A and B are shown apart, each in its own frame.
Chain A
Amino acid sequence: MTLAAEAGAAGPKPPAHPQASAEALVDVRDLSVSFRMTGNIVEAVRGVSFHIEPGETVALVGESGSGKSVSALSILQLLPYPKAFHRTGSVRVRGKEMIGASESLLRSIRGNKISMIFQEPMTSLNPLHTVQRQVAETLFLHRKMNREQARARVLELLSMVGIKEPEKRLDSFPHQLSGGQRQRVMIAMALANEPELLIADEPTTAVDVTIQAQILDLLQDLQRRLGMAMLIITHELGIVRKLADRIYVMHEGKFVEQGDAGKIFSAPEHPYTQLLIGSEPKRRRYSPPAGTPVLLETKDLRVHFPIKAGLFRRTIDHIRAVDGVDFTLHEGHTLGIVGESGSGKTTLGLAILRLMRSTGSIRYQGRELQGLGFKDIRPLRKQMQIVFQDPFGSLSPRLSMAQVVEEGLVVHHPQISEAERREQVAQVLTEVGMDPSTMHRYPHEFSGGQRQRVSIARALVLRPRLIVLDEPTSALDRRVQVQILELLSDLRERHGLTYIFISHDLKVVRSIADHVMVMRDGKVVEQGDADEVLESPQTEYTRALVKAAFELTADASGAVSQ
C-alpha cells in the first residue's frame, strides 16, 4: 500500500471506530504482531487500529499478556526483530510509515519525536553513568549540543521534573537516588528533546503508592505544560481514570472496547471491560469473632543489621529494619501491615516466624518463641505458615505441584502413606480452587494466579492457625488479585484462620484486614482498627499514604519522601 493512498483514504469507516484526523500524530492500522517461538508462532497482537492526536492522552489498558506493551513498542519498531514480525498492518508517525523504515529514519524518531519511559527505573538507567551523562546523551545525539549547552539543558530538565537541588544531583549515580528520583530522571531523559509523544509503559508499577501519586501528578502537569501527547500503557484502572482522555481496552491481542474515558468508566459495554472495572478490591464485609484468645503477641521486637567497616570489620552502626514493634493479635483476626518499600514490614513478617534473627519477645499462644532451638520450634512450624509475593520465585521449578504441596506433610507427618498424602494434597488443591488432576504438572505450566494458589495450598496443607501473607497479591493483575483475596477470606471463614497480611496496597489491605498497622523506617507509625485508621488517620504520614492510595494525589505536606 502506498502512503499517499492511505493518507487520503482517512475517510469513511464504521461509526463505532473513532476516526484518525488528517494530522494524527500516530496512526496505527490493523496491526498484528507475532513471535516465532521454538516450534510455533505466537500471535501477541491481532489486528488492532488506534490513533493518537497531538496533545491528547490515550491509554492502552489490559492485563499482563494482553499485548499492550507489544503494540506500543511496535510504534518505535523496538521489538526483537526478526523473532517478532508483523503479518499485517501499518504504523504511521506524522504520515511516515514505520514498518520497514530505514534505521536512520527510525533513529530520527526514537528519543526525539517520540520517547519512552519504562517500568523499571533501576534497570532502565545505566548504573555506570551519572545523571548528567544519561540525560545529556540524547541531547548530544539529536541536538548536537556542546557540553555547556547540554549541562544547562539537563539542569532545566531536572528542575522541570521536580528534582530538588538539581546541581547536586548532576554527578549522582542511579544507585544513589531513591526509586522516585530515578523515575523522575527517566522522565527527564524522555523529555530532553521535547517529544511530541511520550509513551509511558507501566510508569508507576514498580514504585510505592506515594511515589506513584507524585509521578502521576508530574506527568499530568508536564503534559499540560508541554502540550505533548501521551500514550499510557497500564493494567491499573485508577491511573487511566485520572489521566486518560481516550481508552483502548485490550484483551488477548485485540481491542474489545474503545472510546472516551468518561464513557467507558460510566457505561462499559463489553463484558470484559465491565469485569475489569468491577475488579476493585471490595470493602471488607467480614467481622472477626469477638472475645477470642490472644494468638500472637510481640513486645519490643527488633531486627538490626550491623554495618561493619574497617580492617577488623567492627560494627559501627546498625540498620534498624524493625525497631521496637509491639502488637497483639487475637485468634481469627487479620492484621494488615502497610508501609512503603523499605519500611521493614517483610522483615517483621520473617522475624515473627523466626526465619530471621531478632531480639525482643514473640509469644505464640503464651509460649515464648525466642530462644527455641530448631527441634523445639519444628512442631510449631506446622501451625505458622507463610505465603510469599513472587509467584515465580516461590515455587521450585524442579518440583511438581504435588511435590511442592506435600513437602510439609513429609516433614511433619512422616508416618502417613503416600496414597493418603496424595489424598490430602488433592483435597487442599480443590480447596484453593485448583483442579487436583493437574497436580503432577510443573510450575511453568501455570499462570501467576494459579501459582499463588499453589503457594497457599502449600501453607494450608498442614492446617495452620496463623498464616503470614507477604504481599500475596502484589505481582498479580487486579482481576486475579480480587479472586485471590476472595479465596483468602473464604478460607479464613472456613478454617478460622488468623492472618498477618503484609502489603503496600492499601486498597487490598482495606478489603481483608480488620486491624491495621502502619510502618515507616522499622517503627510503627499508627495502629488500630482498620476502618478507623484508614478513614480518619491520626498521623500526617498515614494521611499522605491514604490520600495517595485512594485518590492518587500527592500530599504536598512533605510527610512522605520524594
Chain B
Amino acid sequence: MSDRTAVVPSEERRAPPAVAAPPPPDRFLGISITPLTRRRINAFKRNRRGYWSAWVFAALFLISLFAEFLANDKPLIVSYNDELLFPILKTYPETHFGGFFETAAEFRDPYVQELIEDAGGWMLWPLIRFSFNTINYQMTVPAPAPPSGENWIGTDDQARDVAARTLYGFRISVLFGFVFVILTSIIGVIVGASQGYFGGWYDLLFQRFMEIWGSVPTLYLIIILASVITPSFWSLMFIMLLFGWMGLVDLVRAEFLRGRNIEYVSAARALGVSDAKIMFRHILPNAMVATITFMPFILAGSVTLLTGLDFLGFGLPAGSPSLGEMLNQGKANLQAPWLGLTAFFTLGTMLVLLVFAGEAVRDAFDPRKTQS
C-alpha cells in the first residue's frame, strides 16, 4: 500500500458540507485555475533554485525588451527652444536644430550637441549612449578598445559598444528562441496528436517519413540553404523549423496513443463527444505536460543553435547584434578578452537560468511530486 491510499478519506468521512455557490475560484496571475494547476504551481515554487532562476530570467528578458531606452545613440528627451522632443520615437532632421543637412540629426555629433546647448536646450541620455550598431568615432585607442568609463565592457573590432551589443544580442536570441519554441510546439502537437489519435496507416507512413526527414544532416543543410537564401530573422526561423518541428512529435504521439485508451476518454466517446473535442479537452492536457516540460530545454537548444550559426557566419545578417558573432570576434581578437568573456558569460548565465527553470517546470509536472 502506498502512502497515497493512506490519506484517501474513507466513505463515511464525507467532504464537509460546503457552500452552495461555487467556491471563489483559485486565481493565479488573475487567471482562475484548477486545483491540479494550483498543486503544480506549488511544486514549481518548492524548487527554490528553479523558481528564482525563472524570475531572474523573466526580469532580464523584460529589461532587454526595453533595450532601445537603455542603450541608444539618441537621447531619450531633448529640450530645444522650450519644445520637448523624443528622438527615439520620432526622427528629426538636423535642420530642425539649425544644422545644414536634411538627414536625421546625429545627436552624438558634438556639432549637433552644441546647437542644442546654444539654444538653451538640454538632453536626457539613456544609461548607455550607444546602440548596437553605433560606431564610436571618438576613441583614443584603436578598436577593439578595452573597458573604460565610456564603453563599460569595451568595444569590438568595429568600435561598437559591447555592452549595448550584449543587451540587444540577448534580446534577439531569446526572442528567436521563444518564437521557435512556440512554432515547433504548435506543429509538433498537431502532427503528434493526429498520429497518435488516429493511428493506423496514417501513423505508420508519417512515422517512416519522419525517420527519413530526421536523418538529413541538418547543420550542413542549413549552411547550404543559408548561402542561397538571404539570411534574415524569419528565413533562418523557417530553415530551422523545417527540421526542428519533429522534437515534440514522438512525445505527443505517445501521449495520445496512451490517452485514447484512458477510461474517461472512452466514457466521453460513449457520450457521443466528437473526436476533435475529445482530443482537445480530454487528451491534450495530458500531452501538454510533456510539451511544457520540454519547452525550456528546446528554448535553450535553439539559442545555442542560433549562436552556433552566427559564430560560423551563417546566421543573422551582418551587423545584427548577435552573441555568436561576438564569440567569433573574441576568437579573432585574443588580445581583447572582454569580447569572448562577455559572450561566454551571457550565454552561460542564460542557459543555466533556462535549465534551472526547466527543472522546476519538470518538477511541477511530475505526478510523484504533485500528488497529495
A538 at the interface (CB under 8 A from B): no
B36 at the interface (CB under 8 A from A): yes
Question: Chain B nearest CB: distance from A48 CB in Å?
Answer: 14
B5 touches A65 (CB 8 A): yes
Residue in B11, B266, B269, B372 with the greatest tally of chain A CB atoms within 10 Å? B11
Question: Chain B nearest CB: distance from A287 CB in Å?
Answer: 29
* Assembled-state Cα–Cα distance A200/B7 (Å): 22
B8 at the interface (CB under 8 A from A): yes
B20 at the interface (CB under 8 A from A): yes
A35 touches B10 (CB 8 A): no
Interface positions, chain B 24-68, Cβ under 8 Å from A, are: 34-36, 42, 46
Stretch at the interface among B93-101, B118-126, B270-278: B270-278
* B301-343 interface code vs A (CB 8 A; 1 in, 0 out): 0000000000000000000000000000000000000000000
B88 at the interface (CB under 8 A from A): no
A445 at the interface (CB under 8 A from B): yes
Chain B positions within 8 Å of A385 at CB level: 270-271
A447 touches B271 (CB 8 A): no
Could you say which of A65, A69, A458 contacts B10, with CB atoms under 8 Å apart? A65
Question: Chain A nearest CB: distance from B98 CB in Å?
Answer: 67
* Assembled-state Cα–Cα distance A438/B273 (Å): 25
Could you say which of B6, B8, B19 contacts A448, with CB atoms under 8 Å apart? B8
A440 touches B22 (CB 8 A): yes
Chain B positions within 8 Å of A395 at CB level: 264
* A345-370 interface code vs B (CB 8 A; 1 in, 0 out): 00000100101000000000000000
Chain A positions within 8 Å of B216 at CB level: none
A449 touches B267 (CB 8 A): no
* A395-438 interface code vs B (CB 8 A; 1 in, 0 out): 11110100010011001100000000000000000000001011
Question: Chain B nearest CB: distance from A368 CB in Å?
Answer: 18
Closest chain B residue to A202, Cβ basis:
B1
B15 at the interface (CB under 8 A from A): yes
* Assembled-state Cα–Cα distance A63/B19 (Å): 30
Closest chain A residue to B268, Cβ basis:
A407
Closest chain B residue to A119, Cβ basis:
B1
Total A-B residue contacts, Cβ distance less than 8 Å: 125
B272 touches A411 (CB 8 A): yes
* Assembled-state Cα–Cα distance A440/B34 (Å): 10
* Assembled-state Cα–Cα distance A450/B272 (Å): 24
B34 touches A382 (CB 8 A): no
Chain B positions within 8 Å of A129 at CB level: none
B7 touches A65 (CB 8 A): yes
A412 touches B272 (CB 8 A): yes
Could you say which of A67, A378, A441, A442 contacts B272, with CB atoms under 8 Å apart? A378
Could you say which of B5, B264, B269 contacts A394, with CB atoms under 8 Å apart? B264
Q: Contacts A37-B372, A411-B273, A458-B267 given: A450-B11 contact, CB under 8 Å?
A: yes
* Assembled-state Cα–Cα distance A400/B274 (Å): 20
A8 at the interface (CB under 8 A from B): no
Chain B positions within 8 Å of A390 at CB level: 263
Interface positions, chain A 505-557, Cβ under 8 Å from B, are: none
Could you say which of B5, B19, B271 contacts A411, with CB atoms under 8 Å apart? B271
Chain B positions within 8 Å of A63 at CB level: 10
Could you say which of A389, A435, A440, A447 contacts B17, with CB atoms under 8 Å apart? A435
A70 touches B6 (CB 8 A): yes
B208 at the interface (CB under 8 A from A): no
* A185-201 interface code vs B (CB 8 A; 1 in, 0 out): 00000000000000001
* Assembled-state Cα–Cα distance A408/B271 (Å): 5
Q: Contacts A42-B3, A398-B285, A450-B11 given: A438-B18 contact, CB under 8 Å?
A: yes
Closest chain B residue to A440, Cβ basis:
B22
A83 at the interface (CB under 8 A from B): yes
Closest chain B residue to A36, Cβ basis:
B3
Chain B positions within 8 Å of A396 at CB level: 264, 282, 285
Could you say which of A350, A393, A408, A438 contacts B262, with CB atoms under 8 Å apart? A393
Chain B positions within 8 Å of A64 at CB level: 1, 5, 8
Q: Is the interface of B mostly helix, strand, loop or mixed?
A: loop
Closest chain B residue to A449, Cβ basis:
B11
* Assembled-state Cα–Cα distance A445/B264 (Å): 17
B6 touches A44 (CB 8 A): yes
Q: Contacts A80-B3, A438-B18, A446-B15 given: A381-B270 contact, CB under 8 Å?
A: yes
Q: Contacts A64-B5, A462-B271 given: A38-B372 contact, CB under 8 Å?
A: yes
Question: Chain B nearest CB: distance from A161 CB in Å?
Answer: 25
Closest chain B residue to A448, Cβ basis:
B8
B5 touches A438 (CB 8 A): no
Could you say which of A84, A412, A437, A448 contacts B3, with CB atoms under 8 Å apart? A84
* A51-67 interface code vs B (CB 8 A; 1 in, 0 out): 00000000000011111
- Report the interface size for chain B: residues with CB under 8 A from the other chain: 37
Chain B positions within 8 Å of A381 at CB level: 270-272
B14 at the interface (CB under 8 A from A): yes
A99 at the interface (CB under 8 A from B): no
B273 touches A407 (CB 8 A): yes
* Assembled-state Cα–Cα distance A42/B267 (Å): 34
B6 touches A35 (CB 8 A): yes
* Assembled-state Cα–Cα distance A412/B14 (Å): 32
Could you say which of A80, A442, A450 contacts B36, with CB atoms under 8 Å apart? A442
Chain A positions within 8 Å of B34 at CB level: 398, 400, 442
B23 at the interface (CB under 8 A from A): yes
A252 at the interface (CB under 8 A from B): yes
B264 touches A65 (CB 8 A): no
Could you say which of B6, B17, B262 contacts A42, with CB atoms under 8 Å apart? B6
Interface positions, chain B 246-300, Cβ under 8 Å from A, are: 262-264, 266-274, 282, 285
* Assembled-state Cα–Cα distance A66/B11 (Å): 12
B8 touches A447 (CB 8 A): yes
B9 at the interface (CB under 8 A from A): yes
Chain A positions within 8 Å of B262 at CB level: 393
Chain A positions within 8 Å of B268 at CB level: 407
A388 at the interface (CB under 8 A from B): yes
A126 at the interface (CB under 8 A from B): no
Chain B positions within 8 Å of A394 at CB level: 263-264, 267
A163 at the interface (CB under 8 A from B): no
Closest chain A residue to B46, Cβ basis:
A38
A32 at the interface (CB under 8 A from B): no
Q: Contacts A37-B372, A38-B372, A378-B272 given: A483-B11 contact, CB under 8 Å?
A: yes
Closest chain B residue to A68, Cβ basis:
B1
Closest chain A residue to B35, Cβ basis:
A442
Chain A positions within 8 Å of B11 at CB level: 447, 449-450, 477, 479-480, 483
* Assembled-state Cα–Cα distance A385/B272 (Å): 10
Could you say which of B3, B8, B19, B36 contacts A83, with CB atoms under 8 Å apart? B3
Chain A positions within 8 Å of B22 at CB level: 440
Question: Chain A nearest CB: distance from B203 CB in Å?
Answer: 13
A388 touches B3 (CB 8 A): no
Question: Chain B nearest CB: distance from A171 CB in Å?
Answer: 32
Q: Contacts A65-B7, A398-B36, A435-B17 given: A388-B272 contact, CB under 8 Å?
A: no
B14 touches A435 (CB 8 A): yes
Closest chain B residue to A446, Cβ basis:
B15
Question: Chain B nearest CB: distance from A34 CB in Å?
Answer: 10
* A366-394 interface code vs B (CB 8 A; 1 in, 0 out): 00000000100110011011101110011
Chain B positions within 8 Å of A407 at CB level: 268, 271, 273
Give residues in A with beta carbon < 8 Å to B. 35, 37-38, 42, 44, 63-70, 80, 83-84, 201, 252, 350, 353, 355, 374, 377-378, 381-382, 384-386, 388-390, 393-398, 400, 404, 407-408, 411-412, 435, 437-438, 440-442, 444-450, 455, 458, 462, 477, 479-480, 483
A-B residue pairs, 5 tightest by C-beta: A69-B1, A381-B272, A394-B263, A388-B263, A408-B271
A selection of 7 A-B contacts at a CB cut-off of 8 Å is: A84-B3, A377-B272, A382-B272, A385-B271, A398-B285, A400-B34, A447-B9
| Known interface pairs A441-B15, A448-B8, A455-B267; 20 further A-B residue pairs with C-beta atoms within 8 A, sorted by A's residue number | A38-B42, A38-B46, A42-B3, A44-B3, A64-B5, A65-B7, A65-B9, A353-B270, A374-B274, A381-B272, A385-B270, A388-B263, A394-B263, A400-B34, A435-B18, A437-B20, A445-B35, A447-B10, A447-B11, A477-B11
